[in-house]
């Protein structure tokens, strides 16, 4: 298993580059869809998007094992909230990759007697659950950071100064809401890894929401959100200190 995990870790960079290219093509196709003089370019972009998607599925064949290993590690976390959310997220991700691999095998003709659409929907459901649990972890971490900041005497003085300077805004809105937003933004600003993880997971959430019909958007929104999350993934891979741990 360790050899498979090492191999999939090495292929993550390629997968994220392919993913960024795939969603960039999807976004460009949506933007150019009404330009009749760009029909050839749109067709090429659609073909490239399909090729990138197929290439990513091939690169992710071993990711199920990687996610299972991550679930085993998260089960040993002493914090119960982190243990539950991360284990559920990793287990859901492992099932998502497994189902996605079956869909890929059906697409290339290795498996024939399955309902591709049903398996694809089940894969999207697992992906959706994984993102929900990942966002739950993010919310828990953010609340912990906010609680720590709120106990800091210097930060409380800074917040009081902010509220006194923007008293007109605070009166127009709600003083408690203004204080909460200030505390939230300052907590995220001081921990960019958390902020990036929240943004990445929030962007990714639009993909299964649209696929499952829970919140229908359009290919442009899906392409933009997928591109944003892919760029964040590449940045966190290049700068490990921006990766949220555990």
Considering the domain boundaries, does residue 226 fall inside one? yes
- 139 backbone φψ class: left, alpha, beta (φ>0; ψ -120 to 50): alpha
Q: What are phi and psi of 68, to 5 degrees?
A: -65, -40
Alpha helices in the chain (DSSP H): 2-31, 39-59, 63-74, 80-107, 116-151, 153-165, 167-172, 175-190, 192-211, 219-238
pLDDT at 146 > cutoff 80: yes
- Distance in angstroms (rounded) separating the CA atoms of residues 239 and 36: 42
Residues with Cβ within 8 Å of 209's Cβ and at least 6 positions away in sequence, in order, are: 128, 215, 217
- Residue 7's pLDDT band (cuts 50, 70, 90): very low
Per cent of the chain over pLDDT 70 is 91
> Containing domain of residue 139, as a range?
2-151+191-242
**Closest to 230 (Cα-Cα) out of 22, 7, 10:** 22
- Mean pLDDT score across all residues of the chain: 89
**Residue that has been written with the tokens 């953010």 in this structure:** 142
Q: Is the peptide bond before 246 cis (omega within 30 degrees of 0)?
A: yes
- Residue 172's pLDDT band (cuts 50, 70, 90): very low
Summarised one tens digit per residue, pLDDT across range 88-139 is 999 999 999 999 999 988 888 888 888 999 999 999 999 999 999 999 999 9
Considering the domain boundaries, does residue 232 fall inside one? yes
> 34 or 60, which is more confident?
34
Considering the domain boundaries, does residue 230 fall inside one? yes
Considering the domain boundaries, does residue 15 fall inside one? yes
Considering the domain boundaries, does residue 167 fall inside one? no
**Residue that has been written with the tokens 């828990």 in this structure:** 140
Considering the domain boundaries, does residue 117 fall inside one? yes
Considering the domain boundaries, does residue 183 fall inside one? no
Question: How many domains is the chain built from?
Answer: 1
- Fill in the DSSP letter of residue 240: G
Considering the domain boundaries, does residue 168 fall inside one? no
């Amino acid at each position: 298993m360790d050899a498979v995990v090492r191999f999939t870790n090495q292929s993550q960079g390629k997968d994220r580059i392919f993913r960024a290219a795939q969603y960039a093509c999807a976004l460009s196709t949506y933007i150019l869809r009404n330009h009749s003089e760009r029909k050839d370019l749109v067709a090429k972009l659609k073909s490239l998007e399909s090729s990138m998607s197929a290439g990513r599925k091939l690169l992710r064949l071993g990711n199920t094992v990687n996610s299972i290993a991550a679930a085993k590690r998260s089960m040993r976390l002493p914090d119960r909230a982190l243990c539950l959310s991360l284990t559920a997220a990793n287990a859901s991700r492992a099932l998502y990759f497994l189902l996605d691999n079956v869909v890929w095998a059906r697409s290339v003709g290795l498996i024939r007697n399955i309902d591709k659409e049903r398996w694809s929907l089940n894969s999207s459901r697992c992906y959706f659950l994984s993102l929900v649990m990942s966002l739950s972890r993010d919310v828990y971490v953010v609340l912990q950071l906010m609680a720590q900041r709120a106990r800091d005497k210097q930060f409380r003085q800074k917040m009081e100064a902010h509220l006194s300077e923007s008293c007109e805004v605070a009166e127009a809105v709600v003083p408690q809401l203004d204080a909460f937003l200030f505390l939230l933004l300052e907590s995220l600003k001081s921990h960019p890894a958390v902020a990036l993880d929240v943004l990445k997971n929030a962007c990714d959430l639009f993909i299964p929401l649209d696929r499952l019909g829970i919140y229908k958007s359009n290919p442009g929104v899906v392409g933009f959100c997928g591109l944003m999350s892919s760029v964040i993934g590449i940045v966190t891979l290049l700068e490990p200190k921006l990766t949220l741990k555990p």
